[in-house]
């Protein structure tokens, strides 16, 4: 696991690259596992670049994660659509995991929409349900604000995470999709699915859905002053609630739900 010598300076430098190549944007959308089809449904790209053109972004290695960022016109505003992400379990540091999101915010994005695939801890919240995140449990053992402190111009290290997920944007999503529910997301290190005992523990801690991403990006975006929205697509019931777990079914569930999910994101982006 490696951390850039100065992750803050690298984020500012790559933010300039992003803005120069794609132009300014109002919002950024990060597409998680199974969400690739949603990105294509948001609109046509006016400009596009490889994420690897940003010095601090390694190529993703997980099936279902692309490696590009596009400028897309949505509701008369430009949105950066980040196709894919990298994860702690791939061996990256927290700074590397959040680098693309930091770049987007530093390039001018006032809102960050984070998407993921998740397992549901509630049997009544089944496959295909969008869960709008109301809060999170960061159980990864990492934090993008650990290590070298941010320069003063980027805000104090000890970010206030009260109300991390925007109530205004959550309401727009819930109004747009009558199947959507709210819930708390537990973010774990990953590398394997959770055990049934771990799922029982997470339920006692207040989690509704569980996954291996999002929590660090949400902290990084909120620290830099962005309005944050998160939504998890339930692609499976968590361990112990169904017989087995398979990453292929995660991608298939995402593909099946793509049209509805695109409509939900459109509504959130239209909230301005």
Active-site residue numbers?
33, 65, 87, 89-90, 117, 212-213, 236, 247
CB 104 within 8 A of CB 228: no
Q: Using CA atoms, how far apart are residues 185 and 227, in angstroms rounded to an integer?
A: 17
Q: Using CA atoms, how far apart are residues 263 and 267, in angstroms rounded to an integer?
A: 6
Q: Which of 208, 203, 163, 162 is nearest to 183 (CA)?
A: 208
* Ramachandran angles phi, psi of 29, nearest 5°: -120, 125
Residues in Cβ contact with 254 at an 8 Å cutoff, skipping those fewer than 6 apart? 33, 34, 35, 36, 37, 38, 64, 117, 233, 235, 261
- Pairing relation of β-strands 68-74 and 77-83? antiparallel
CB 119 within 8 A of CB 193: yes
- Which structure tokens are listed for 40? 């294509």
């Amino acid at each position: 696991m490696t951390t850039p010598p100065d992750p803050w300076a690298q984020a500012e430098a790559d933010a300039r690259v992003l803005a120069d190549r794609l132009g300014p944007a109002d919002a950024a959308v990060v597409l998680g596992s199974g969400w690739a089809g949603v990105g294509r449904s948001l609109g046509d790209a006016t400009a596009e670049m490889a994420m690897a053109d940003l010095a601090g972004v390694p190529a993703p290695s997980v099936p279902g994660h692309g490696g590009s960022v596009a400028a897309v016109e949505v509701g008369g505003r430009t949105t950066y659509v980040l196709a894919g992400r990298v994860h702690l379990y791939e061996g990256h540091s927290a700074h590397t995991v959040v680098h693309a999101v930091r770049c987007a915010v530093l390039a001018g994005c006032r809102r960050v929409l984070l998407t993921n695939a998740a397992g549901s801890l509630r049997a009544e919240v089944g496959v295909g349900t969008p869960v709008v995140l109301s809060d999170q449990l960061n159980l990864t053992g990492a934090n993008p604000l650990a290590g070298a402190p941010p320069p003063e111009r980027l805000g104090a290290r000890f970010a206030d995470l009260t109300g991390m997920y925007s109530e205004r944007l959550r309401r727009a999503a819930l109004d747009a999709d009558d199947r959507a529910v709210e819930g708390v997301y537990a973010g774990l290190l990953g590398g394997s699915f959770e055990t049934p005992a771990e799922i029982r523990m997470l339920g006692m801690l207040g989690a509704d859905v569980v996954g291996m991403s999002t929590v660090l990006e949400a902290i990084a975006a909120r620290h830099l002053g962005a309005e944050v929205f998160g939504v998890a697509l339930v692609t499976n019931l968590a361990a112990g609630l169904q017989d087995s777990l398979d990453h292929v079914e995660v991608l298939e569930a995402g593909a099946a739900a793509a049209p509805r999910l695109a409509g939900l994101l459109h509504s959130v982006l239209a909230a301005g």
